[in-house]
């Protein structure tokens, strides 16, 4: 469990992820449920990526951003769920210190990238509704590419800071993490020193990556609502609201639990409640995104039928 670099100190070399239950029967049931959720998430997001790549009608900024969102969802759910599935069926629930470091970093990087990317998608809706005639001029492919690359760079940068400060803490005692993956607050609580400085760093990061993007999204939708309410035609007004409904639903499922986990004071930390809430922005959000966008979007349905039709003709 520990390696000893000095005579009077021992350091944790691996962690034990407690997961949700220690009962074998319960774990088998959870395995079946989470396996189906994970498989549905990967297939649903993979389908959207495939349709956007194959169908020329979807080669627009809106669906370019949707394709990247699906890639993010599929990637960050893969950083946690496969290992959780293995632990549900295995007697060993250990993860090496380096493995925990890598999982925390990759999950944080992808999740933070999505935080920033949802702002880009809000900007896309803002331009589409407030400046419809200049939509393709403002959102050129060059700008879309730069915005996307910038969100990835910011996500990986801020995650590196968060992971570095968390994992450089001395872990010389308990190594049982009351979570199903190496999430920052759960691991940090095992450190054998005062963590107020790290908590302050995380709070500052949370302002930049959670609060600030959320305020930008709110500001965008306030402006969008003002423009929509000026539309005289009720049918056109409903259509405009409909184009924003999917994005707003995704934002709610992702930001609400993430804000609760990362912006609440450490004194209110509750391991059992937090790991259940984290399922919403980790597992369920990745599952619901393709469902929300595909069921409410006629373009996606049409692309699916066209791609399936071409496949049958080719066959």
* Averaged pLDDT in 10-residue chunks for the chain of 315 residues: 44 84 86 93 91 86 91 92 91 88 93 92 90 90 94 94 89 85 86 83 83 89 87 76 79 82 67 80 83 72 73 51
**Residue found by looking up tokens 């396996």 in the block:** 35
**Residue found by looking up tokens 């930049």 in the block:** 208
Question: What pLDDT does residue 9 have?
Answer: 43
Domain 22-307 class, CATH top level: mainly alpha
Question: What pLDDT does residue 311 have?
Answer: 55
Question: What pLDDT does residue 202 have?
Answer: 82
**Is there a contact between 177 and 269 (Cβ–Cβ < 8 Å)?**
no
Question: What pLDDT does residue 268 have?
Answer: 62
> How far apart, in Å, are the Cα atoms of 221 and each of 60, 127, 132, 217, 227?
21, 11, 15, 6, 10
**Is there a contact between 61 and 146 (Cβ–Cβ < 8 Å)?**
no
Pairing of strands 14-17, 176-177: parallel
Question: What pLDDT does residue 6 have?
Answer: 43
**Is there a contact between 228 and 129 (Cβ–Cβ < 8 Å)?**
yes
Q: What is the pTM of this model?
A: 0.86
Looking at residue 22, the DSSP 8-state letter turns out to be S
| DSSP H or E run through 14 | strand 14-17
Q: How many residues does the chain have?
A: 315
Rounded to 5 degrees, what angle do the CA atoms 69, 75, 80 make?
A: 130
Question: What pLDDT does residue 315 have?
Answer: 47
């Amino acid at each position: 469990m520990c390696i000893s670099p000095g005579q009077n100190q021992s350091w944790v070399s691996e962690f034990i992820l407690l997961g949700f239950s220690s009962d074998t029967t319960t774990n088998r049931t959870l395995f079946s449920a989470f396996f189906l959720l994970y498989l549905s998430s990967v297939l649903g997001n993979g389908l959207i990526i495939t349709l956007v790549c194959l169908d020329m009608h979807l080669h627009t900024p809106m669906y370019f951003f949707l394709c990247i969102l699906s890639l993010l969802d599929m990637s960050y759910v893969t950083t946690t769920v496969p290992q959780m599935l293995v632990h549900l069926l295995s007697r060993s629930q250990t993860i090496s210190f380096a493995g925990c470091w890598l999982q925390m970093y990759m999950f944080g990087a992808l999740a933070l990238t999505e935080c920033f990317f949802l702002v880009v998608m809000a900007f896309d809706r803002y331009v589409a509704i407030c400046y419809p005639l200049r939509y393709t001029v403002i959102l050129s492919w060059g700008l879309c590419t730069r915005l996307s690359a910038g969100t990835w760079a910011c996500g990986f940068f801020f995650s590196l800071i968060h992971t570095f400060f968390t994992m450089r803490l001395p872990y010389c005692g308990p190594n049982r993490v009351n979570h199903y993956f190496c999430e920052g607050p759960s691991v940090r609580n095992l450190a054998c020193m005062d963590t107020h400085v790290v908590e302050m760093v995380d709070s500052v990061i949370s302002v930049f990556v959670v609060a600030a993007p959320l305020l930008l999204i709110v500001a965008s939708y306030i402006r969008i609502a003002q423009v929509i309410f000026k539309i005289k035609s009720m049918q056109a007004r409903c259509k405009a609201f409909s184009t924003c409904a999917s994005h707003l639903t995704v934002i709610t499922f992702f930001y609400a639990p993430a804000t609760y986990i990362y912006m609440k004071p450490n004194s209110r930390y509750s391991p059992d409640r937090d790991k259940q809430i984290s399922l919403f922005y980790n597992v369920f959000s990745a599952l619901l995104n393709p469902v929300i966008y595909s069921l409410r979007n006629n373009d996606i349905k049409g692309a699916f039928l066209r791609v399936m039709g071409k496949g049958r003709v080719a066959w």
